Amino acid sequence: MGRARTIARRTFLTGAVAIAGGVAFGTYLVRRDPQNPLADGLGPGAATFNPWVKIDAQKITLITPHADIGQGAVHMQATLLAEELDLDLGQFDTEFGEPAPAYHNTALAGEGTPYRITDQGVVARGTLATIGGLAKIIGLQGTGGSSSVADSFDKLRAAGATARETLKLAAAQKHGVEGADLTTKSGAVILPDGTAIPYVDLAADAAAIDPVRDVPLRAASDWRLIGKPTQRSDIRAKSTGTLSYAIDLQLDGMVHAAVRLSPRRSGVRSFDAEAARTMRGVVDVFPITNGLAVLADNTWRAFRAAEAIDVTWQDAAYPAEQADHWKAVEASFTDAHLDTSLRDDGDVESALAADAVRAEYRVPYVAHAPLEPMMALVRVTDDQVEVWTAHQLPRVLQQQVAGVTGHKSGQVVLHNQYAGGSFGNRLECEYVAVAAEIANQVRGTPVKMTFRREEDFAQDFPRPLGMMRGAGDVDSGQVRALALDIASPSPIGSMIGRLGLPQAGPDIQIPAGAWNAPYGIENFRVRAYATPGVAPVSSWRSVGASGAGFFIEGFLDEVIHAAGADPLEERLRLCDWDVARGTLEAVAEMSNWGESLPEGKGRGVAMVESFGVPVAEVVEVTDTPDGIRIDKVWVAADVGTVVDPVNFENNVQGAVVWGLGHAMNSEITYSDGMAEQSNYHAAEGMRLYQAPQIMVRGLETHFAVRGIGEPPVPPAAPALANAIFAATGMRLREMPFNRHVRFI
Amino acid sequence: MKLRVNGKDHHVDVEDDMPLLWVLRDELGLMGTKYGCGIAQCGACTVHMDGIAVRSCQLAAADVDGDITTIEGLGTPESLHAVQEAWVETQVAQCGYCQSGQIMQVASFLDMNPEPTDDQIDAAMSGNLCRCGAYPRIRAAIRSAAGKMAAA
Ligand code: FES
Ligand code: FES
């Protein structure tokens, strides 16, 4: 085997090259290479093979740039690297790495494009004319859109493989043996005589040679880790209170900050902070953008002083009362607000008879409210800004913070942390900008700014409210026409506006989950309308599909009922994508769909494709004298390859709980320009006593490897509504459902 | 004021009404106990006073009249409490932020009620919110922990 074929000269790392094979560099070259962020600060005798692997004489460090917001991203990324690098779990450290172009998220390139996941033609894949998709923001380097697995699956295995082969080459040269005679196992190169040379002992040698690249990836049948239940790397720390979240960090000389920000997102009209200033432990009180900051020597003292400030606020730029938000949505079903018309099969107008089924559906604003409140620890000096927080968009965060403090983006150092939940909230930069603005006033002093939970609710950019006006028709026991008009404010437009980026075109998130539904209904139209002038909104776990998925699957159930067909059988008949059909067949089998149920029980089914992943769910409820009890949920999702079955199941169960809980009881409503819900008593989601049994099956027939953090959310609410209909005869067309039924 | 936390005496100079949560976190640097809501709605701040689970965000420093145990005092990564062992084996945590509180609640509950019914588990655990929705695994881990504690 000629070395010329296995050894590459320096190669520039572009997104494309990174996918194809990862890139390996010798230390000398790496040190000059701006594209590998690990090159800076590499000690003598340390090797970095690509932006994800760093080895020195003491330890192996794997870089896992996708944020861990509870979904297990660190463990997933490490598993993929360790698989090809022949590391055992526990033999390495992980780091989030620093913000860098090398960690560009390539999986999201197509997420904003108006092509169905099944449309894999050249035109679909080649057209990256983003129409306001998540990719635009997240693609820079980001975690979102359930894209971490898709982005990492080939890239990180390739990075592990190239590092492995380079270490083998180093061992071959050092010991004068043929590379082909070497194997690797448990973090060591094994010589022909069986001697194991630990990778750490080869770091200096590997650093001195040109790296190997274009290493073929192993066949699935050879995987040791992928697809097997493994123990998450963070599980012990998270079970012993020893994992430090950003809120737990303490720096020398640190002060605690709390804020009173305008609950109307407006300016301060007047304030009196005298009482707050004299409270014990208070260091300072000063105005900041849209509010006031308190510095104190303890979080609680800062909280109390913030609450003691007497302040009046300017009016909100959006309607003060919730009823007027709804009026704005109702008024946006006009040609002037038409945003997209992505589905128009057959001839809906002629197919809809005068007695067609018609209904109106609604979803409210909902807060994210991850359990760790929004906070950031920031230290500003004249030449640097350091930020400790958990964030999904490191490079966007750098730009936003730099804009606040007047530094250059490259002077902002993000020490990313494990998040105590996100659900989309850590795509926002506002909470970090607030902390940076405060820390900038006291340069040199680290400031830990923590939102009181009440502030967290008040400042949350919620999931958009939305409405659907639907019409459907049937013939000979079959669904023949479905027309959905959906209106809501644009979550992506709102986010992009806050980032100061120009909004390019429409937002396919408004009808997400509906326009792309894998149903071959003869006459099928989905139109989306963008509602202007209401409250600013954001991405909330599963984004547009959290609303539009409910619209289509709740209403389709009504039309199927009108046809006199079985809800699951008719969906199977309509389904025009074999992968999606597989999920419906799986839940039918798992739940023994069609079996006769005792009096008072009912089952509903729903299937939604979001982020390329079809998920079918069957919910079973009992109508008890005290209210509705959710007994069981069966879920089938097809992600191509399940990287870790335990974490997969946990994510699916969590997503189902999320979808059901908020559908049951959560909303944000505005009054006097302010959110009326201030803490979990008013928006609690699901509690343990309400949690059903959740049976999960991961299917692996998909042509692509996809993520699972969000896709099980959208079908949960409509499957619940449909189950309640089956049990009680009552159609729920509006969330939260507890406006109409009681849950026990 | 004097507090006994995880078997050690501490003198702290704080207001009578400072919640124990903030004494633990910001005065004693015990960060395993979490702030989630501050109003007894989430359970993230759960610790033990003389073995009984209490919400430390609701317990004023001056009202502490027993030995406090926090998650750090329950077990360590090297020497897990039975409940923590069950939590690790069942892989309960997602983001993990609620789990200190969940574990402290369960440890106290199983201590008093080693063979709980499903209804008793529901009643004991419904003050502990898990925004990530790890409830199915929390239930399974409670069962497993009860088994471990019975066998011990
Ligand atoms: S912080 Fe004490 S119950 Fe939530
Ligand atoms: S694991 Fe995230 S809140 Fe419970």
- pLDDT tens-digit series, residues A247-285: 999 999 999 999 999 999 999 999 999 999 999 999 999
Question: What pLDDT, on the 0 to 100 scale, is given for residue A134?
Answer: 55
Say if residue A112's pLDDT is above 80.
no
Q: Which of A396, A428, A450 is the last residue of a domain?
A: A450
A166-215 pLDDT per residue, tens: 999 999 999 999 999 999 999 999 999 999 999 999 998 998 888 887 89
The answer to whether residues A531 and A651 belong to one domain is yes
The answer to whether residues A466 and A594 belong to one domain is yes
Task: Determine, for residues A680 and B42 on separate chains, whether the beta-carbon distance falls below 8 Å.
Answer: yes
Q: Mean of the pLDDT values across residues A663-673?
A: 98
Cis check: omega of the bond before A216, within 30 degrees of 0: no
Residue-by-residue pLDDT tens, chain B, 152 positions: 999 999 999 999 999 999 999 999 999 999 999 999 999 999 999 999 999 999 999 999 999 999 999 999 999 999 999 999 999 999 999 999 999 999 999 999 999 999 999 999 999 999 999 999 999 999 999 999 999 998 87
Measure in Å the smallest separation between the Cα of A642 and chain B Cα atoms: 17
Q: Which of A240, A262, A277 is the last residue of a domain?
A: A240
The CATH number for A81's domain is: 3.30.365.10
Say if residue A127's pLDDT is above 60.
no
Question: What pLDDT, on the 0 to 100 scale, is given for residue A131?
Answer: 38
Listed residue (A202, A113, A115, A129) closest to A164, CA to CA: A202
Q: Is B18 on the interface with A (CB under 8 A)?
A: yes
Q: Has residue A744 been placed in a domain?
A: no
Q: Is A251 on the interface with B (CB under 8 A)?
A: no
Q: Has residue A110 been placed in a domain?
A: no
Ligand lying closest to the C-alpha of residue A372: 2
* Mean pLDDT over each residue of chain A, to the nearest integer: 90
- Measured between CA atoms, the residue of chain A closest to residue B44 is A371
Chain centre to alpha carbon of residue A485: 26
The answer to whether residues A409 and A553 belong to one domain is no
Q: Mean of the pLDDT values across residues A483-506?
A: 87
The answer to whether residues A708 and A624 belong to one domain is yes
Partners of A685 on chain B (C-beta within 8 Å) are 129, 131, 133
C-alpha separations of A589 from A408, A592, A593, A594, A616 in Å: 57, 5, 7, 10, 12
Say if residue A110's pLDDT is above 60.
no
Q: Which domain holds residue A161?
A: 33-105+141-240
CA of B135 relative to ligand 2 center, distance in Å: 9
Let me know: does A728 contact A599? Beta carbons within 8 Å.
no
Question: What pLDDT, on the 0 to 100 scale, is given for residue A23?
Answer: 26
Partners of A243 on chain B (C-beta within 8 Å) are 96
Say if residue A146's pLDDT is above 90.
no
Partners of A687 on chain B (C-beta within 8 Å) are 126, 129
* B135 CB near ligand 2 (under 6 Å): no
* B130 CB near ligand 2 (under 6 Å): yes
Question: What pLDDT, on the 0 to 100 scale, is given for residue A630?
Answer: 98
Task: Determine, for residues B134 and A653 on separate chains, whether the beta-carbon distance falls below 8 Å.
Answer: yes
* A93-95 and A60-63 beta bridge pairing: parallel
- CB neighbours (10 Å) of residue A257? 29
A605-625 pLDDT per residue, tens: 999 999 999 999 999 999 999
Q: Has residue A113 been placed in a domain?
A: no
Strand, helix or coil at A236? helix
Q: Mean of the pLDDT values across residues A331-352?
A: 96
Say if residue A298's pLDDT is above 50.
yes
Partners of B97 on chain A (C-beta within 8 Å) are 70, 245, 370-372, 420-421
Listed residue (A437, A415, A419) closest to A373, CA to CA: A419
Q: Which residues contact A268 (CB under 8 A, 6 or more apart)?
A: A262, A287, A290, A291, A292, A311, A312, A313, A314
* B25 CB near ligand 1 (under 6 Å): no
Say if residue A502's pLDDT is above 90.
no
The answer to whether residues A262 and A170 belong to one domain is no
Say if residue A107's pLDDT is above 80.
no
Question: What pLDDT, on the 0 to 100 scale, is given for residue A563?
Answer: 97
Question: What pLDDT, on the 0 to 100 scale, is given for residue A288?
Answer: 98
Please list the residue range(s) of chain B that carry CATH number 1.10.150.120. 82-151
User: Across-strand partners of A365?
Assistant: A668
Q: Has residue A119 been placed in a domain?
A: no
The answer to whether residues A508 and A589 belong to one domain is yes
Q: Has residue A148 been placed in a domain?
A: yes
- CATH architecture observed for domain B2-74: Roll (3.10)
Length of chain B as a residue count: 152
Question: What pLDDT, on the 0 to 100 scale, is given for residue A119?
Answer: 65
Partners of B34 on chain A (C-beta within 8 Å) are 247, 371-372, 420
User: Across-strand partners of A311?
Assistant: A271
Q: Is B140 on the interface with A (CB under 8 A)?
A: no
Q: pTM surpassing 0.90?
A: yes
Question: What pLDDT, on the 0 to 100 scale, is given for residue A37?
Answer: 83
- In the numeric block, which tokens belong to residue B95? 């983001």
The answer to whether residues A234 and A265 belong to one domain is no
A73-101 pLDDT per residue, tens: 999 999 999 999 999 999 999 999 888 87
The answer to whether residues A277 and A158 belong to one domain is no
Question: What pLDDT, on the 0 to 100 scale, is given for residue A713?
Answer: 98
Q: Has residue A198 been placed in a domain?
A: yes
Task: Determine, for residues A371 and B41 on separate chains, whether the beta-carbon distance falls below 8 Å.
Answer: no
Q: Has residue A486 been placed in a domain?
A: yes
Q: Has residue A470 been placed in a domain?
A: yes
Helix axes B135-151, B82-90, angle to 10 degrees: 140
Q: Is B76 on the interface with A (CB under 8 A)?
A: yes
Smallest CA separation from ligand 1 atom 3, residue: B40
Say if residue A427's pLDDT is above 90.
yes
Q: What are phi and psi of B43, to 5 degrees?
A: 80, 0
Which atom of ligand 1 is least distant from the CA of B129? 4
Partners of A238 on chain B (C-beta within 8 Å) are 93, 96, 99
Tell which wins on pLDDT, A503 or A308. Answer: A308
- The complex scores an ipTM of 0.98
Residue A640, amino acid: G
B 97-136 residues inside an 8 A Cβ radius of A: 97-100, 103, 121-123, 125-126, 128-136
The answer to whether residues A273 and A336 belong to one domain is no
Q: Which of A395, A419, A450 is the last residue of a domain?
A: A450
> Given pLDDT bands bounded at 50, 70 and 90, which one contains residue A111?
low
Question: What pLDDT, on the 0 to 100 scale, is given for residue A129?
Answer: 32
The answer to whether residues A212 and A341 belong to one domain is no
B134 vs A556: CA distance, rounded Å: 31
Say if residue A598's pLDDT is above 80.
yes
- Measured between CA atoms, the residue of chain B closest to residue A298 is B26
Please list the residue range(s) of chain B that carry CATH number 3.10.20.30. 2-74
Say if residue A17's pLDDT is above 50.
no
> Given pLDDT bands bounded at 50, 70 and 90, which one contains residue A139?
low
Q: Mean of the pLDDT values across residues A123-132?
A: 35
The total domain count for chain A is: 3
Say if residue A504's pLDDT is above 70.
no
Listed residue (A73, A128, A172, A118) closest to A575, CA to CA: A118
A 315-354 residues inside an 8 A Cβ radius of B: none
Measure in Å the smallest separation between the Cα of A712 and chain B Cα atoms: 13
Tell which wins on pLDDT, A294 or A34. Answer: A294
User: Across-strand partners of A334?
Assistant: none
Measure in Å the smallest separation between the Cα of B117 and chain A Cα atoms: 12
The answer to whether residues A206 and A351 belong to one domain is no
Q: Which among B94, B96, B129 has CB closest to A680? A: B129
A531-554 pLDDT per residue, tens: 999 999 999 999 999 999 999 999
Say if residue A415's pLDDT is above 80.
yes
Question: Does the domain formed by B82-151 have CATH 1.10.150.120?
Answer: yes
Let me know: does B46 contact B56? Beta carbons within 8 Å.
yes
The answer to whether residues A392 and A528 belong to one domain is no
Q: Which among A70, A240, A452 has CB closest to B132? A: A70
- In the numeric block, which tokens belong to residue B143? 């069962």
